[in-house]
A = this chain, B = another copy of it.
Amino acid sequence: MNTDVVPVAVGDIAGWDHEADVVIAGYGVAGASAAVEAARGGADVLVLERTGSWGGAAAMAGGFIYLGGGTALQTACGFDDSVEDMAAFLNVAMGPGADSERIADYCEHSVAHFDWLVGCGVPFKAEFFGEPGWEPMGDQGLMFSGGENSFPFNTVARPAPRGHVPQMSGKKQGEASAGYMLMKPLVETATAAGTRALYDVRVQRLVVDTGGRVVGLTARRFGNPVAIRARRGVVLATGSFAYNDSMVAQYAPRIAGRPAASIEQHDGRAIRMAQALGADLAHMDATEVAIFADPQQLVRGVLVNARGQRYVPEDTYPGRIGQLTLYHQDNTAYLIIDGEAHEEAMSSPTPQLMFRPPTWVADTVAELEEAIGLPPGSLQHTVEAYNDGATRGEDPLLHKKPQWLRPIGAPLGAIDLRESTGGFTLGGLATTLDAEVLHVSGEPIPGLYAAGRSTAGLAAWGYASGISLGDGSFYGRRAGAAAARG
């Protein structure tokens, strides 16, 4: 048997190379949050990081942290929110299969979690960004990031923006680095609290005692084997399995070959190490899906599938458009947009990072339909019905907001959005609300904790930007605190 991830009996460890009360694998957002709380809990903390420095996927992310229920930032920006509205939204938007207990837990403590981040030195600018987009153009701190104010979610709960973005001064177009401004203060806080870090360490196997308790792990550093003892607990925080091709093929095949917003270190190893110990999994098929299109174009157009039918309100969270396109429409979509709307999108006040020119242009809808190769009459009907409603300021089919409704005229074009999606995996280890890793028996595995995208978090099937940095930091804290208690 290939013993790569098979647990090691403690009796087989010749000697420990390093030791600490709490050993954390991975120095991204979950690892850093765990380190802060474990150190504050009085533990001697050692973080093992595979690369040469802290950061993980978080430091390269747009930086959204999904929080609400009336955070100081929401209030400062003039938005009301409640724990109930936030939970009602998440229970629908993160489903089907969303864990309502976890959602309730997260929402209840969301305001306090925002304050904790601020207390760690994470900066937020009290300014709301209201343009369509994947993220704020500048250093604004708050934005709708899950389609809360679009159909159908605006019928489920009172909408409030919950995408909280750390302030990155002097941010330039194309720099998706607000995540750095989340990570830097967290790591500084962890370090100030006494956390030690060891870089270039690739974790390999968990070490268990005769009672089945996790008491350390083995790793490789510059090719050499090292053994690290964890006197109180091990926290796994090494991220998703988006870059493990065989796991993706087995568990989330629709996302195969299209990883995005992830890093190559996300190879699922922590999941494998814990599975080898009998750990349970959840929602392994769930993925975040981006569609590579500019929301300023999306909201001004009409999105149709291979049958020329509309299927999603174009003004919702673009990640939702991505998910519905990849999973429900066989990764096929065309954005129909007229010349005037195209010009307007081009001259809109936000960056056009994903701006795409029309693939086909035509003078009539019939010509465009034929050029794309849609079933005869299909697009003509769709545009006619859309225009008919738009003249009345209504979208009876999909309830796009009136502000974006305008009849589509000529000349017009279509942007080919086939195979234009990518994303990362959301499934992983099943954990308790205290971030204990669950065995398939239903009981926690003693000494083993996990958080971040190596675990199944808030999102079962559905997503909002900020969910991963949100539950990663939130349950990272829980993992660190629980491990420190031992």
Contact = CB atoms under 8 A, between A and B. Distances in A.
Interface of A: 1-6, 95-97, 212, 246, 249-251, 253-254, 256, 272, 275-278, 280-285, 307, 309-311, 327-328, 375-378, 381, 385, 388, 396-398, 430, 439-446, 456, 460-461
B282 A285 contact: no
A3 B441 contact: yes
Contacts of A396: 375-378
B250 A440 contact: no
- Identify the 6 closest CB pairs spanning chains A and B, nearest first: A97-B253, A285-B285, A250-B282, A276-B278, A328-B328, A2-B441
A276 to B, nearest CB: 4
Given A6-B439, A285-B285, A278 B275 contact: yes
Copies of this chain per assembly: 2
B277 A278 contact: yes
Contacts of A456: 250
Chain A at the B interface: mostly helix, strand, loop or mixed? loop
Contacts of A443: 1-2
A95 B282 CA distance: 21
A378 B395 CA distance: 12
A303 B28 CA distance: 48
Nearest to A248: B97
Contacts of A442: 2, 4, 246
Most B Cβ at <10 Å: residue of A95, A256, A327, A397: A397
A192 to B, nearest CB: 37
Given A1-B446, A278-B275, A97 B441 contact: no
Contacts of A283: 250-251, 253
Most B Cβ at <10 Å: residue of A3, A95, A253, A307: A253
Contacts of A5: 278, 440-441
A57 to B, nearest CB: 23
A310 B378 CA distance: 11
Most B Cβ at <10 Å: residue of A97, A250, A388: A250
B375 A276 contact: no
Contacts of A327: 327-328
A378 B311 CA distance: 13
Contact of A307 (B212, B282, B309, B378): B309
A428 to B, nearest CB: 11
A389 B388 CA distance: 24
Given A307-B309, A396-B375, A275 B280 contact: yes
A267 to B, nearest CB: 13
Nearest to A397: B375
B281 A250 contact: yes
Most B Cβ at <10 Å: residue of A96, A430, A460: A96
Contact of A280 (B250, B256, B441): B250
Given A250-B430, A277-B278, A375-B397, 5 more contacts: A1-B444, A250-B282, A275-B280, A275-B440, A281-B284
B249 A97 contact: yes
Nearest to A331: B96
A380 to B, nearest CB: 10
Nearest to A205: B441
Contacts of A398: 307
Contacts of A272: 440-441
A357 B381 CA distance: 31
A97 to B, nearest CB: 3
Nearest to A388: B377
A194 B433 CA distance: 52
A442 B96 CA distance: 31
